[in-house]
Structure 1
Amino acid sequence: MDGQPSSDIIDEIRDIPLYRTSIEQGFFPILEKPEIARGFPDNWMTPALAKALEEGEAEFVLSTGTNHARMQIIRPPYFLLKTYYRLWSEHPDIADTWHEGCRRVSLTTLLATEHVARVNAKKRGVLPEGVPTLDARRLDERTVYLNLRLDPALWLREDVERMIGEIRTEQRAHPQGRYHLDCSGYHLAHLIRKAREWGLWADFPQPASVITAYEYTPANVRAYLERYLDCPVVDLFGSTELGYLYYSDHNGRYHPYLDRMSLELIPVAPGSHIHSLIVTSLRSPHMPLIRYRSGDCVRTIDGSTDPAKVTRFCGREKELLPTPRGLVSQGDLDDAVTTAAPSVFLYQLRTEGDDGLRLLCTTFDGAPLEAAEQVGLEKFIGELTGLPCQAEHRTHIPIGISGKYAWLKKDS
């Protein structure tokens, strides 16, 4: 039967309480997040796991919870980082920056920076600093985190000057002055915009390679980054519990990266070409996931359920918007925005009850929308959803408490 684990996989998970009923019945249903949490951690506990926890070879961590409730998981220390480093070292476009020893500068959420600072403080047996120093924000000898504010739109000139200075510090550590920039696409776009606005762009050290890896990067944002960065900009797709599953090349094409993993694609609704991503993974030996619904949605080049034909990741399943024209994903909206208005930077779609939709958006240069762009946005989104839409320019769209942007706000 499609998706059912092989006998070799069953042998590896036989002692895990969560899977006993499925093994006895000879059928593994799709594993949902609530099932992972129910009875945790006893539902995962085996003698081998208990020993690994005791010896520090396994640890409890929380998923990011950006788009769903935070979920406790079990994994080896630095599981996600090691997956990232391996992929970086093997990527056909940017492996040279790994093997040259380039340092990694990470520009992403404040929560990520605070986590690194807390871990380092705990190692030293001290309380975290109110404003962590550069050394307090070093994840390891290779990676440092930059961001010290929740909302990058509210960075001050002094923030941008500090970050550019810290990037220069990392750049100078390399014999050829090269470094690798790891980021949320939104955060890097904010930094570029502000550096240009305040006359600091000439001081910004050009990276040797860039990875966007923390959230969906809209096409307009990616085009903006590529316009100002003279290096490959590649995207990684993955999660805290799974590691990375796909990477893009410099042309934007996605390739599977499925070490000890397999995938199924299941339409989110009958006849839909949006598919749920179902993952079987033995990559984490302490928490193998069998037919796990990651919550992510994808599209394929031909609408089929062939994981090798994935061409884009289009957001979270829980954020699909029901419309008269069918379910609409973040990626679908992004296509409409990109087609209609290349000047749009941030956007947020809001439902208005029976009255239709409002699209709030900022622009890269801060100027109001051109009349043709506003008309185009309202037209394309109306055609996509079958609902009337009003586009409105904003100078600021606040970021979420997680440090990531919500593309959709539904009536509560």
Structure 2
Amino acid sequence: MDVILEYADEYLFTPYVYPASWDEDNSLRKCLSLFLITWSMGFISYLLVAVPSYFFIFDHDMMKHPHFQKNQLRQEFWQSSYAMPLMFIMSTPMYYLEVTGRTRLRENYDDACFGYFTAIPELISMIIVVDFLSYTFHRAMHHKLVYKYLHKDHHKWKVATPFASHAFHPVDGFLQQMPYHVCVIIFPVNKYLFITFLVLANIWAVSIHDGEFEMPEWMKSVINGPAHHTDHHMYFNYNYGQFFTVWDRLCGSYRHPSTFEGEGPLQYVHKLESSKSTSTPAPETDVKSYETPISSEYDSGVESSGEDSEESICSSGSDDGYCEYEAARAPVDICKNCSNLESSVFELHNSTVNKSNILKNTEKEKTLSEENVFLSSYIHRSNNSLELFCSSSVASDALTQRRFSVACEHSSENEFVHKRRRFSFRG
């Protein structure tokens, strides 16, 4: 970093930015220069890696997942843009210590035991230290007393894109950088190797969010790749590692990626599209159930994305309300306790429609049956009345017979009309 600072002072800051009276050895000037250099380099490298990764590597079918939010790309980008200057302000003192020789950074390998071959153990040592410290800091960020204030900003997105790689809370982003600076404090590291390692780590941070799940078979259980980190975003309590899975395995937080078992978010999207095209019920969601916390001390359960939201559709039953699942970020067909809700609603709807149709048909048949019974009764009574009349009035005159018949018929017709109206009103 001191070499970059020298070139920046010579060709940019001294002739164009700072006043001539401001000495190059001034501590405040150096800190300001280091902040501008690290911020600009970090942001440019973020764009140079994230933009091609999004357009050429990231599978855009992931954006059809129900967990993918509206305007998510814009939110990820603006969160990264807001966090970067603040996190580099906090990191500036560490860079200042490095350029002023207060760390164990060295310029060459003249005094090294194995010459330039010393770079190999230095690189291995940095990878081991960074991987361990990153796992420790990352898991600590999931503690229920810290998570909602710091790390929650990065977990707002269940299905992340490459632009989410730097979308941290500023303090969280600073703590994510600390393992790299610790390396140059505890053992000697060549400064050029250190800068190269920082650049490669930045590329790695983008790559584990790019959704490119293909890797050699032997690496699937060793390297903490995009499939592992995707499950970390989806299931929250697993795969905290940075480069390898060793610390997750030793500490009991390893989860074999669901993508390698055919149940990842991309497979779920394909099943969902297939169900829509064939008009079949939606498949069971990839977030199958509420995951039990691994450790009550460090892990709080499912991601707390809406502790005080009144729109949450369910909760994990936590006493402090920490493990609520916000409706604004989780569609109703995907829920940690109700993973099969969509298909259940679909079946309930069909059952309700069928029952409604059966009930309507039953009512119609009942009405028609009652009407037929009434008509049969009416005809039967009319026939009986006519037979009684004929048998009892053979000797009667024609006028009496006619009046009795008309009165009987009129009374029966009134009763029939009254019944008919009652049935029509009820139907």
Higher RCO (C-alpha under 8 Å, 6+ residues apart): 2
Structures share fold, TM-score greater than 0.5? no
Answer with 1 or 2: which has the greater Rg. Answer: 2
Structure (1/2) with the larger strand percentage: 1
TM range (shorter): under 0.3
Structure (1/2) with the larger helix percentage: 2
Instruction: State TM-score, norm by structure 2.
Output: 0.25
